[in-house]
């Protein structure tokens, strides 16, 4: 347990809470937390998760701009509904990404849990993409992914991070509750 891990955990929890509230300040807080966790995961030899933090930084920058363009006058972001095809395609891409990442990690790193690390990374990228697109289903995927991450982090002695991800599960449940898709815009009479 390090000060960087604790600070990363606090900022990550704050970022998820702000996201669930659809607050724009979630983006700079997320960017800072991802940078800190990149370092934590490199030190723990969770290379896919360290890479994931870099991907999160890129998604944060994109999502920040995307949300700024899609805001409402009350400052909250419109929630969208994905098609069934979009959901299935995303899940299949997550499966493919898992396989590719697992091969790379097994072949080229000393990651002690390459398949778990790869699978959670691939589906985290998908959940972040859905978050950027403002799909409510992002929260359901985060519940599943974060539940598995709790076990992974306990196995790597990253206890503050395991507690953080347990808290993420609760925040994701709340996010799902709060992110109700907006009704379609009324057509002019």
Q: What is the pLDDT of residues 77-97, one digit of tens each?
A: 778 889 999 999 999 999 999
For residue 21, pLDDT over 90 is answered with: no
62: left (phi over 0), alpha (psi -120 to 50) or beta: alpha
Q: Sorting pLDDT into bands at 50, 70 and 90, what band is 15?
A: very high
pTM score, whole prediction: 0.80
CB 181 within 8 A of CB 133: no
pLDDT at 186: 53
Phi, psi for residue 78 in degrees, rounded to 5: -70, 135
For residue 19, pLDDT over 80 is answered with: yes
Residues 144-165: tens digit of each pLDDT: 999 999 999 899 888 888 998 9
For residue 34, pLDDT over 60 is answered with: yes
pLDDT at 173: 95
Q: Provide the b/e sequence for 86-121 (b: ≥16 CB within 10 Å).
A: eeeebeeebeebbeebbebbeeeeebebbebbbbbb
């Amino acid at each position: 347990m390090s000060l960087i891990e604790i600070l990363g955990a606090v900022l990550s929890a704050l970022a998820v809470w702000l996201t669930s509230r659809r607050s724009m300040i979630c983006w700079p807080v997320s960017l800072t937390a991802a940078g800190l966790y990149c370092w934590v995961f490199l030190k723990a030899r969770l290379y896919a998760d360290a890479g994931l933090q870099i991907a999160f930084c890129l998604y944060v920058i994109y999502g920040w701009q995307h949300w700024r363009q899609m805001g409402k006058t009350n400052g909250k972001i419109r929630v969208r509904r994905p098609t069934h095809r979009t959901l299935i395609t995303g899940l299949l891409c997550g499966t493919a990404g898992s396989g590719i990442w697992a091969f790379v990690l097994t072949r080229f790193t000393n990651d002690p849990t390459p398949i778990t690390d790869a699978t959670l990374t691939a589906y985290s990228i998908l959940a972040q993409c859905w978050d950027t697109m403002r799909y409510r289903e992002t929260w359901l995927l985060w519940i599943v992914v974060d539940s598995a991450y709790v076990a992974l982090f306990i196995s790597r002695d990253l206890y503050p991070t395991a507690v953080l991800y347990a808290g993420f599960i609760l925040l994701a449940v709340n996010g799902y509750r709060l992110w109700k898709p907006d009704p379609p815009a009324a057509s002019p009479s």
